[in-house]
């Protein structure tokens, strides 16, 4: 099963680079914002990972993690737009978020809800900051924000659905295998961020 999952991830993402943090179409608002998370593998895997991890833990965390992430992400975007503070090592922290989420999924770590939300909130600030940094380049910033928040929510839901199905109704090793693959991609992103 691990081999099948590996082939699936490689085929699905082999032609997509970690480019969520550059505008796809600088002339649009909603469309560009919506496609932003979908076309950046680093962002996609982090959002997907949040959903899978929430589903693995179950209970309130199945919805509290995916709801918290976009809210905190908006705060990160506002920090970037207002320029009140400049984050450093943004791409490296985004890559680290993918690594960490991959490992917590692999380990099926189930901390207290507050700790889980705190972990994803730190990462959400950096993901939001990266998106907010792009906002001044958009013609319609409000539509851009709506687009990337909606897209992020859909990716979370996809992760919750996949995580819940495989964790509850199928072999739990599939989620663990997904976690390892996500972490491997995160390591690749981290390496690229330093080159």
pLDDT in tens, 45-98: 999 999 999 999 999 999 999 999 999 999 998 898 888 889 999 999 999 999
pLDDT in tens, 119-174: 999 999 999 998 888 776 666 777 888 888 899 999 999 999 999 898 777 666 88
CA distance 19 to 37: 9
**pTM metric for this prediction:** 0.84
**Between residues 113 and 20, which one has the greater pLDDT?**
113
pLDDT at 101: 98
Task: Please report the DSSP string for 122-176 in residue order.
Answer: HHHHHHHHHHHHHGGGSS-HHHHHHHHHHHHHHHHHHHHHHHHHHHHHS-THHHH
Tokens of 111: 């901390």
pLDDT at 136: 61
């Amino acid at each position: 099963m691990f081999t099948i999952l590996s082939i699936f991830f490689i085929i699905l993402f082999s032609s997509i680079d970690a480019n969520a943090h550059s505008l796809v179409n600088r002339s649009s608002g909603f469309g560009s914002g919506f496609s932003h998370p979908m076309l950046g593998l680093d962002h996609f895997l982090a959002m997907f990972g949040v959903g899978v991890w929430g589903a693995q833990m179950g209970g309130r965390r199945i919805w509290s993690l995916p709801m918290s992430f976009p809210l905190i992400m908006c705060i990160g975007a506002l920090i970037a737009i207002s320029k009140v503070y400049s984050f450093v090592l943004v791409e490296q922290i985004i890559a680290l978020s993918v690594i960490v989420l991959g490992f917590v999924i692999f380990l099926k770590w189930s901390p207290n809800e507050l700790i889980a939300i705190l972990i994803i909130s730190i990462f959400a600030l950096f993901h939001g900051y990266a998106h907010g940094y792009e906002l001044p380049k958009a013609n319609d910033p409000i539509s851009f924000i709506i687009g990337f928040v909606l897209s992020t929510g859909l990716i979370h839901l996809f992760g919750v659905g996949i995580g819940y199905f495989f964790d509850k109704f199928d072999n739990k090793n599939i989620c663990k295998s997904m976690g390892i693959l996500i972490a491997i991609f995160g390591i690749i992103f981290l390496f690229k961020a330093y080159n």
